[in-house]
Structure formats: C-alpha cells, structure tokens
Structure 1
C-alpha cells in the first residue's frame, strides 16, 4: 500500500477521467491520496472530491502565489473549511521567493495566518517553500510545537536544511524529481534522512517521474518515486511502501488500514 501525500485532483488535467485516474492508482497499490487546496475555491473543490471518493482526503490552504487573497473575510471562510470532515491538514501554504508572484511581506503574513489556524485546530501543515528557507524557519519555529505536525512538500533543500526541518519534528515529502539523473542533492537527503520521516508524493499533474517524464503526472506514478527511494536506501519497495504509509498515517492522523473508509462507515 502506498499513499500519495500530495496531488491536485481538482486541476483541469483530471476533470474528464478522474475515476480512471483513481482506478489506475489503486492498481499500482496507491490506496489513499491527499488532494491539496491552494485557495478558497480549490479547497472547497478538494473537500467535495474527498466526500465523493473514499480513498481521497483533502487539505485546506492558500498557496503563496495567492497570498493576497487572505483578508479577514477569507480568513473566516478558511477557518470554516478547515473544520470540515475529511480535511487532514492546512496547506499548501508557505513562501515562494523563486517566482515572487506576491510581495514577500504579503506571503509571510498569509503564512502566519494559516499557522495560527493550524495551531488552533491542532492540524498538521503542508509547506511549499522555494528559495525561502531562512525566512521560513524564522517564521515557523515559534509555532512548530503547537502544530499538529508539518510536511515540507516537494522537499528541495540540501541536507543541512533537512536537518533543520527534522529538528522541528517535520517530515520530508519526496516527489518524482528524485528519479531525475541530476537530482543528487535530493537523493542525498533520501539516503541520510531517518526512514520514519520520509513521505512520497506526486504533486500531480506536475513533476512526473522517470520513466514518464514529460507526461501529465498522476497518483499511480508515486509507485516509481517509491521504487527510486528503495533503490537509494538499499531496501525493498515493500519496505518503502510500508514505512512511508506508516509515516503518512502518523503525520496526517489517518487510520493505518489497507482499506479506505467511506463516509458511512463508523
């Protein structure tokens, strides 16, 4: 069993054949998928998907590219969405200094607001951090032990940055880019990190792993990321699947079961 801890099933790439996408995932042993909110509309959409499909769970977040949206009215709606059934976490939220689509001060304010909600609700947070680790650690450190946990999505830092995240109790989520020949820094982190702090993800429809690079990514392809993690760590795919599933269940407070629960199960 595998868990894809980060996908965007509400994106247009999946609008015409989502049932087929989910079926292909199940055939590859991907029995749970966490689909990620990036703004208020997206967060509502992923909640709806989580209610429709028992193997899908949701998060509620405002991406740094949309940080300007976080006014008082949006914050009220955000809090309400975060309390919805089948919402596992806040995110994705964070800082993106690579594209800088929003002023950095606005990004930092939006991140702080979402951290406050996460602390209030004792929810873990899924972080999107690009070229902003210094500011990220300065902001998150005072909150870290009041959160329900933390995940550095699509982890792109080196080992020194990984250590700082691990010291705060956070998890490192490994995407399909780890399969790329030039991903030596990411592969080094996978080799050195504690096994009980690693997750696997697709970030579908983006970051498609080898051997499907260049195509639309989908949750079934997390299998190939897990296979690469096994190769790097010198263990079996089954061991990676078991450990990363256990890790995902721990940080997202999921029931560690091989069978997804539907809404009408008690």
Structure 2
C-alpha cells in the first residue's frame, strides 16, 4: 500500500533537527510521495542553499515541488516575486503553483487578492495546477477561479485543507478541483466536513497532513508529521465505509494525475 501526502511542509525548520527520522516514520506506514508547497521566494531560495540538508534528508520518498506566494508571508512578498515565480515555473516543468490563496485573518487583503489573481494567471499561462489556501475566503477564491475557468488546466488544482459543507464541496468539484483531506476529519465535532467528504466522489479526494501544522485528534499542540497520513486515511475509510487499501490506491492515483507525475 502506497500513500501520497499531497501537502506537507517538510522543508520547514520545524523538521531541521530530525528530518531523517520523520521521513523514516513516514516510509514505515507507506508514505512514498510528498508534495512540498512553496510559500515564499525567501523559503524557496533557502531550500536551494548549499548548507541546507534539505532535501538530502528525504531519501526513499519521492518529493514533488510547488512554488508560490502564501498570504501568511504577505509582508515578505515583493512585486518582482511574480517574475521570479514565472522563472521557476519555466525552469521546473512539473512544478505546481502553490501554496497560494486568500486568508481573512492575515493583513493587507488588497495585496493578497492582487497577488493571488496574478498567480492564477501564471497557472493558466503555464498550465499548472494551483494549490489553494483558504480561511473564511472560499467565495472570493471561487470568484477569481471561475473568471479564469476557461484558461485553467484540465486538472486545475486542489482546495487544501478543505472544510465546509457538502454544497461547498460540490462547488469546488464542479470547477474540477480536488479536495484536500487532512486532520480536520479526525475531530468528531467537524460534522459538516466529515459528512461532505463521506459523500464526495472518490476521484476528487487527496490525502494530506499539512505538517508540521494541523495535528490530528489526540495530538493537539504537537508537531504534525507525514506519518499521520495513515491516521487520516483510516478515519476516511470509516466515514466512507470503504477499505483503507481502496482509498490509498485511489488517492495515490488522484495525486499523480493532479501533479502530472507517473510514480
């Protein structure tokens, strides 16, 4: 059984001291591929520095890459970062655009919106999927993406850390998007999201951890890690009354299709 963690910040400093052990635990439960989003120009340049052990610590797991300007780092982003992003997409023909999005709890929403729209335009130009961050912003995100609908690639992207109702899920699915399923579903209080993902088409579901963030139930306040992908898929299997093996195979294929990878 192979698991694909479709959203994990394995390059963050939270893993700098024990990344090899983290990867070993992930491999032990079947994680064989990880998508690592980009969040800022600074972070991506740090990852490529000669004194950084990333990604040498990750032997045994396939790493897929994204480049993006995340709203959390809005004060780091400069206008010429968009030109840098275009250069990264041109130089990395399989890289996704992300993690990008809108966050109502972050500052400078006007700049967030301008950068998000520009990054969607780049995704259309280079025909790459987008990896979408959201917090209290799904209507605004959908408005921008619907305007670009005719130009988006065939597999347009994923709404990362999906939370919401069945109706909201269906809106993303109708737009061609995948739903990122992570630790949220391990909390029984997340009734709407659990119901929505129990009924969503299997062809539109991805597994993710968002490590080091979004810990699963029972691990609140602790660093999350990709090995918890197994807990997510087990919970999803219970909710959908499907086997873990069936879900692992389907979500693996979904992630490969989205990211254009033949693993």
Same fold at TM > 0.5:
yes
Residue 203 of structure 2 corresponds to which residue in structure 1? Answer: 196
Alignment of 1:113-262 (within 5 A): 113-148=118-153, 149-255=156-262, 257=263
Aligned length: 254
Q: Deviations over 1:64-103 (max 9, x none)?
A: 1233544432111111122343753101111101x1x222
Instruction: Give structure 2 stretches of 5+ with no counterpart.
Output: none
Q: 1:247 to 1:96 in 2, by over 3 A?
A: same
The Cα shift of 1:201 comes to 0.4
**Secondary structure at the residue paired with 2:227?**
helix
Residue 80 of structure 2 corresponds to which residue in structure 1? Answer: 73
Whether the 8 Å contact between 1:130 and 1:156 is mirrored in structure 2 is no
Structure 2 residue 45 is the aligned partner of structure 1 residue 44:
yes
Whether the 8 Å contact between 2:40 and 2:77 is mirrored in structure 1 is no
**Secondary structure at the residue paired with 2:216?**
coil
Instruction: Give structure 1 stretches of 5+ with no counterpart.
Output: 258-266
Worse-matched range after superposition: 70-79 or 19-28: 70-79
Residue 23 of structure 2 corresponds to which residue in structure 1? Answer: 22
**Secondary structure at the residue paired with 2:7?**
strand
State the distance in 2 between where 1:225 and 1:93 align.
23
Q: 1:250 to 1:84 in 2, by over 3 A?
A: same
- RMSD (Å), alpha carbons: 1.9
Worse-matched range after superposition: 140-149 or 164-173: 140-149
Q: 1:172 to 1:47 in 2, by over 3 A?
A: farther
Worse-matched range after superposition: 38-47 or 184-193: 38-47
Q: 1:72 to 1:51 in 2, by over 3 A?
A: farther
TM-score calculated relative to the size of structure 1: 0.89
